[in-house]
Amino acid sequence: MLVACTYRRLEIMRRSFLPFVFVVLISLCFVGISVMPTEVAAQVRTNSTGAQKKGNKSFLGWLFGDGNKKVEQAKPVRKKRRRRTTRKSRRTGVAAVSAPRIVEEEKNKDAKVLLVIGDDLAMGLADGLKEVYADTPSIKVKKLVYPRTGLVTDKKPDWPEDVTATLKSEDVGLVVVSLGARDNRNIRVVGQGIIDGQPASYAEELQFQGEEWKKEYRFRTASMVAAVRNEQLPLIWVGLAPAKEYLTSANFSYLNDLYKEQVEPAGGIFVDIWAAFQSEEGEYTPHGPDITGKRRRLRAKDGVYFTRAGYRKVAYFVEREIARIFGSATAFIFEGVKDDPNFIVLTGRLTSPEARLVGPDDTGGKAAAGSDLFKLTISGETLPDVSGRADDASWTEF
């Protein structure tokens, strides 16, 4: 009877213990989930493929044996950002134009020099002309350029002296001048005088467009022109283009008038590029057709200077004037006659084409006054009819 009682008590304890063990196991499961590492919990919630750190297993991983699985983590791809930089010349403060890579044909040893003189405008124009004459072995382009200067700025040596020295040291055949981008401002003049009976120096500032300013600027322009023409060389002076700012544009137009009135009477050529850089409405525009007719940006962001395509377009107008002087922009040679700077010998020809077309007469090539050649070519008179010739319009009597 004692044994039966003991067996019955054990049976009751076994039945009451099993539910307790089951409750404990369920509790442990919830505890395992709650202490799961943050990375694993995030993977379970988002169904992510992120990798679990090595050796960091949860209770469920240990219980079901999947804690040793390795999941490759996708590495984030970083996009490379291009840095935008605006190149500016430290010396000039002007937006720098990327220097064109020009492959020039080897120049002849006796190649003549096309000298480009001026400020920042001349620097870009010189590159444009180099591109024009890259395949011409008889011409090489050189430049005498001083950035951030002009005729207003005092420089040592001054422009006429510097130009004269360069022309004497180089075998120059033609001079191109392009400047004035910074000349729409006052001129500071330093001179010598007598103050209180003693010699002394003084400084005076001439107001832009004032009478004294105009007189001084005319003198400086004429001195530059004379420095070239005294060497009996052809001179081409390139005018300014319209600017983005209305007031600056008006000032540039005023300067162009001063250049033209000094250059042309001295036998130079003034190249007016104003209309070539305007819109159809006559307004400033940064875009326009390049030398191929394609619409491109021609002006720099400052509205004064040019892009590479713009300088090449300016060079086109200069090249056209050079072709008029020398006959052919690709085959001319610089051979001038010292006593006449406007006379250029072309490929060995010593007579004018007009004389070759008319032909010589009894006086050795010159039309004598009163001769039929003189009446035809000089006076413009009609030659007498020749009887019986095809152009004889007279009636024949029968």
Do residue 116 and residue 239 come from a single domain?
Answer: yes
Helix axes 159-169, 211-229, angle to 10 degrees: 10
Residue range of the domain that includes 366? 351-384
β-strands 187-195, 139-145: how paired?
A: unpaired
Can you list the alpha helix ranges (DSSP code H) found in the chain? 2-34, 38-46, 59-64, 120-132, 159-169, 211-229, 246-263, 308-326, 353-358, 372-374
Q: b/e per residue, 387-397, with b = 16+ CB within 10 A?
A: eeeeeeeeeee
Q: Is residue 141 included in any domain, yes or no?
A: yes
Q: Is residue 202 included in any domain, yes or no?
A: no
Do residue 248 and residue 168 come from a single domain?
Answer: yes
Do residue 238 and residue 374 come from a single domain?
Answer: no
pLDDT in 10s for each residue of the chain, 398 residues:
554 555 565 566 556 556 666 666 666 655 554 544 444 444 444 444 444 444 454 544 544 455 444 445 555 556 555 554 445 544 445 555 555 577 788 888 888 899 999 999 999 999 999 999 999 898 899 999 999 999 999 888 899 999 999 999 988 999 999 999 999 999 998 877 777 777 877 788 999 999 999 999 999 999 999 999 999 999 999 999 999 999 999 999 999 999 999 999 999 999 999 999 999 999 999 999 999 999 999 999 999 999 999 999 999 999 999 988 876 544 344 444 444 455 444 443 333 443 334 444 444 455 566 676 666 666 667 767 777 666 666 665 55
Q: Please, are residues 376 and 383 in contact by the beta-carbon 8 Å criterion?
A: yes
Do residue 125 and residue 57 come from a single domain?
Answer: no
Q: Please, are residues 306 and 300 in contact by the beta-carbon 8 Å criterion?
A: yes
Do residue 47 and residue 178 come from a single domain?
Answer: no
Q: Is residue 207 included in any domain, yes or no?
A: no
Q: Is residue 85 included in any domain, yes or no?
A: no
Coil, helix or strand at residue 270: strand
Do residue 290 and residue 168 come from a single domain?
Answer: yes
Tell which of 50, 68, 86 closes a domain. 68
283: domain CATH number is 3.40.50.1110
Q: 294: Cβ–Cβ under 8 A, 6 or more apart, which residues? A: none
Do residue 159 and residue 266 come from a single domain?
Answer: yes
Q: Is residue 87 included in any domain, yes or no?
A: no
Q: Is residue 258 included in any domain, yes or no?
A: yes
- The string of DSSP codes covering 243-265 is -SSHHHHHHHHHHHHHHHHHHGG
- The string of DSSP codes covering 275-287 is GGGB-TTS-B-SE
Coil, helix or strand at residue 316: helix
Do residue 361 and residue 335 come from a single domain?
Answer: no
Total domain count for the chain? 3
The model carries a pTM of: 0.61
Do residue 125 and residue 49 come from a single domain?
Answer: no
Residue 323: what pLDDT? Answer: 87
Q: Please tell me the distance from the alpha carbon of residue 276 to that of residue 371, in angstroms, as a whole number.
A: 48
**Three-state SS sequence of 188-203:** EEEEEEEECCEEEEEE
The region that residue 14 occupies, defined by phi over 0 for left and psi between -120 and 50 for alpha, beta otherwise, is alpha
Do residue 304 and residue 362 come from a single domain?
Answer: no
Tokens encoding 330: 């690709």
Do residue 367 and residue 299 come from a single domain?
Answer: no
Q: 106: Cβ–Cβ under 8 A, 6 or more apart, which residues? A: 137
Q: Is residue 395 included in any domain, yes or no?
A: no
Q: Is residue 74 included in any domain, yes or no?
A: no
Do residue 357 and residue 231 come from a single domain?
Answer: no
> Within 10 A of 330 (CB to CB), how many other CB atoms are there?
13
Looking at residue 267, its amino acid is G
